[in-house]
Structure 1
Amino acid sequence: MPHIQSHRSTFYHRLVHCYEWFFAGFFRERIRSTIKSLDIAPGAKILEVGVGTGSSLPAYPPHADVTGIDLSEEMLNLARKKLEELGRTNINLQVGDALSLDFPDGTFDYVMAFHVVSVVPDHERLLREMVRVAKPDGTLIIINHFKSERPWISTPMTWLDPLTRHLGWRVTLRYDDVVCSQPLRVEDRYKTSPQSLFTVVKARKQAS
């Protein structure tokens, strides 16, 4: 496990500026529009796992208490520069492992994971940790690519999976294996456009 995490951290370290230019730019509007669609109450505590270079940060309301974590110090440094430009003091960024969150149970009103589930080596552990740190009836927001039920899409993705795994992410994760394995009540599930490969999931933590 640590070996895999180290590998992926090194991979994204090498691509940090490419990530900012291409990947973050590709995902930016989808992430920001999703955050802005939420009715986030004043004082809400929010955790974003895998915050990366901070493309999401401008979308968070100034009245919320936001924490962003990432394994990559290099990406966080770019995110901190964005914070300085924004002049925001309600957002805290820190190095952290999404598979072992350093927060007590039931801390956050919202826990976000944008294009992260496919990157971590253990998606079940990630979801368990996200659920653990969410407050009772807290909200989880996930944006991710899930394996399509359409063979003409899923078959090429299956062929590509060995390559993408080597680069650090998976393209064959099934929605049910990720979301339905946890005590969550899915409130909304949609694609931002009919052609999109990515699904937005809004779910509530169910009482144990």
Structure 2
Amino acid sequence: MAHIQSHRSTFYHRLVHCYEWFFAGFFRERIRSTIKSLDIAPGAKILEVGVGTGSSLPAYPPHADVTGIDLSEEMLNLARKKLEELGRTNINLQVGDALSLDFPDGTFDYVMAFHVVSVVPDHERLLREMVRVAKPDGTLIIINHFKSERPWISTPMTWLDPLTRHLGWRVTLRYDDVVCSQPLRVEDRYKTSPQSLFTVVKARKQAS
């Protein structure tokens, strides 16, 4: 859940070090295992939107060309420190807006969004931008919480939604409203454990 929009809640921006300790730690292994499960070819161009403090960076293969963007300079500074420790030269980090990506159409083989969809003010625009910059038949990887179809889970989440919106994210976003609104062919959709609240989605960009 990286800091994407400057006009949304400043919760993460103000607590960037707490974010690194708690939120990034909570999501880290799920993100890294998802990246490592991909058969990323040498020379593949990858974009991660909302890279945050860079928890994902060690999982990317050194033979790929990786770009990570985030609106928070403070988070990117922490990510750059990780990058220095890794000694990796194939990863570029820069300030960028996930809702207005500064890349040409069809640039990337992979476009990643880890725990980001729920924190942007316009998830449809985010997905459109991700699809736009993906190459024809490019792959989108999304990890996110989606509203459960089980009432005993969805009802408490609905009660919590006003609070979480105040803090900067939504817990009632429906899977169909995100993934099915775009020209995508879903290849895989799964949870990393039966108890997980988060869904991993792997989808291909369909020809227009």
Shorter chain as normaliser: what TM range? over 0.9
CA RMSD of aligned residues (A): 2.2
In the alignment, the residues of structure 1 paired with residue 51 and residue 36 of structure 2 have an alpha-carbon distance, to the nearest angstrom, of: 16
Is contact 1:36-1:59 (8 Å) kept? yes
- Is it true that 1:103 corresponds to 2:103 in the alignment? yes
Superposed displacement of residue 12, structure 1: 1.5
Contact 2:3 2:12 in 1 (8 A): no
Q: CA deviation at 1:79?
A: 0.1
Equivalent residues, number: 208
Partner Cα distance (1:49, 1:39) in 2: 20
Tell which deviates more after alignment, 8-17 or 150-159: 8-17
Which residue pairs with 1:193 in the alignment?
A: 193
- 1:9–1:72: 8 Å Cα contact kept in structure 2? no
Instruction: Determine if contact 2:120/2:169 at 8 Å carries over to the other structure.
Output: yes
Whether the aligned pair in 1 keeps the contact of 2:115 and 2:145 (CA below 8 Å) is yes
Uncovered stretches (5+) of structure 2, i.e. residues with no partner: none
Q: Contact 2:134 / 2:205 at 8 angstroms: preserved in 1?
A: yes
Greater than 3 Å deviation, 4+ residue runs? 1-4
Query: CA offsets, 1:129-178, max 9 Å, x none?
Result: 00000000000000000000000000000000001001000000000000
Deviations 1:44-101 (A, max 9, x none): 0000000000000000000000000001000000000000000000000000000000
1:14-56 CA-to-partner distances (Å, cap 9, x unmatched) read 1100000000000000000000000000000000000000000
Once residues 106 and 5 of structure 1 are traced to their aligned partners in structure 2, the CA distance between those partners, rounded to angstroms, is 24
Structure 1 residue 117: deviation in Å? Answer: 0.1
- Structure 2 CA distance for aligned equivalents of residues 90 and 164 of structure 1: 36
Determine if contact 1:9/1:71 at 8 Å carries over to the other structure. no
Aligned to 1:122: 122
8 Å contact kept, 1:4–1:121:
no
Change in 2 beyond 3 A, CA 1:200/1:159: same
Write out per-residue CA displacement over residues 181-200 of structure 1, whole angstroms, 9 at most, x where no aligned residue.
Answer: 00000000000000000000
TM superposition shift of 1:11: 2.2
Q: Secondary structure at 1:110's aligned position in 2?
A: strand
SS at match of 1:118: helix
Q: Is the 8 A contact 2:3 2:70 kept in 1?
A: no
Distance change (3 Å), C-alpha of 1:9 and 1:57: farther
Matched, 1:134 2:134: yes
In the superposition, the TM-score normalised over structure 1's length comes to 0.97
Shift of the 4–184 alpha-carbon distance from structure 1 to 2, 3 Å rule, reads: closer
Q: Secondary structure at the match of 2:186?
A: strand
Question: Are the aligned partners of 1:107 and 1:133 in contact in 2 as well (CA < 8 Å)?
Answer: yes
Contiguous gaps of at least 5 residues in structure 1:
none
C-alpha spacing 1:2/1:179, structure 2 compared with 1 (3 Å): closer
Indicate how the Cα distance of structure 1 residues 31 and 4 shifts in structure 2: closer, same or farther if over 3 A, else same: closer
Which residue number in structure 2 is paired with residue 67 of structure 1? 67
Confirm or deny: 8 A CA contact 1:136 1:205 kept in the other structure. yes
Q: Is the 8 A contact 1:107 1:134 kept in 2?
A: yes
TM-score by length of 2: 0.97
| CA distance in structure 1 between the partners assigned to 2:132 and 2:138 by the alignment | 10
